[in-house]
Amino acid sequence: MKKRVAQLLMLASLAGTGLTQADTLPEALGSSFEAINHVDMGRLQRDPLQEFCSKPRGQAGDSAMESALRDEAMASVVFPAGDDFIGDWARGAEVANNGRGLQYSDDPEAPNGGNCYACHQLDPAEVAYGNLGPSLTGYGARGQSDVMLRYTWTKLWNTHAYNVCSHMPRFGALGILTEQQLKDLMAFLFDPDSPVNQSIE
């Protein structure tokens, strides 16, 4: 891993000189990208899940590997102490609406957002929502059983526990959002007073 990063860094130093052309994918990556602000070349290194999922949609991968990755994802989930899942839905609404975080144009000191509306419908009064993921409007109707809370937390923490190669980021497992932000998102989804669970008449 460290050797690979060193290789990438060396090739990165040649970036833009136009002196070489890559023969392989790692070479191409190393010579085509460069670190900027707080974003380093290590981001181009893939973990086993990313490697397995770097394939066309619908293309089957090795099923044993898929099971192993699913189990690993499930094992990675860290539940909040005391099963205290629900935070503040108003803060959760901000997390869902905030599309910033981890880009080289973002302030590394500012909190990351979940950018949920990029892919999901949530508050039915919000028309600017994407359709890459299913609608989550009325999510609270599912109730707050222990099973449902743990399922939803798991999806947010590491969705691959249920859907290997899902397009959704691993908000908990990769530290994109803090535990408090995730609790606030849970409230945004589950709290009966949350906009997600209001009908627009």
| CB 154 to another protein: min, Å | 16
Residue 139 sits at φ, ψ, to 5 deg, of -55, -35
Q: Which of residues 118-137 bind another protein (CB under 8 A)?
A: 118-119, 127-132
Looking at 22-30, 64-72, 73-81, 85-93, which segment touches another protein (CB under 8 A)?
22-30
Cα–Cα distances in angstroms (integers) from residue 52 to residues 66, 151, 200, in the given order: 8, 24, 42
Site for another protein, residues 148 to 167, rule: CB under 8 A: 167
Q: CA 88 to CA 184: how far, in whole Å? A: 5
Residue 78 touches another protein, criterion: CB under 8 A: no
Q: How far is the CB of 176 from another protein (least distance, A)?
A: 6
Closest by CA position to 28, among listed 43, 15, 46, 39: 15
Torsion sign across C-alpha atoms 191, 180, 111, 54: negative
- 77 binds another protein per the rule CB under 8 A: no
Residue 6 interacts with another protein (CB under 8 A): yes or no: no
∠ Cα 176 51 37 (to 5°): 45
Place of tokens 């191409």: 28
For another protein, the binding residue among 1, 25, 75, 200 (CB under 8 A) is 25
Contact status: 31 vs another protein (CB under 8 A)? yes
CB of 7 to another protein, least distance (A): 15
Partners of 39 in the beta sheet?
A: 36
The residues that touch another protein, with contacts defined as CB under 8 A, are 15-18, 21-22, 25, 27-29, 31-36, 39-41, 43-46, 49-50, 53-57, 102-105, 117-119, 127-132, 167, 169-170, 174-176
